[in-house]
Structure 1
Amino acid sequence: MPRGVQFTPIPASKAYLLRLRERFAPAWRLASAFPLECLCFLLSVWLLPLSG
């Protein structure tokens, strides 16, 4: 672990997670509307480098 790096306190990380959730809210709504399509897309993106 590099020196000078310290753990952020819980409230700061909680605010960061909330901000992250707000930023990805449209994508999250899309994913919840089309879960299978998103799952297939993620799987294809994950397997694409492996298939060469």
Structure 2
Amino acid sequence: MPEIQREGRTETPTTMMAWGIPSSDPAESGVEAAAVWLTGGAGLLLWTALAFLLTTA
């Protein structure tokens, strides 16, 4: 009976955990990731302030 050997790596592309889609880009650096989080946070604060102003007026 032949011995079956399996490799540790898979042939499927890596997936982005947050989106569940295949990732073709290399991992972004810490500075780029921080910039994305900061701009997203600033946008969220801006929309929250706008919503607050519109609901209290």
Same fold (TM over 0.5): no
TM-score, structure 1 normalization: 0.43
State the TM-score, normalizing by the size of structure 2: 0.39
Larger Rg: 2
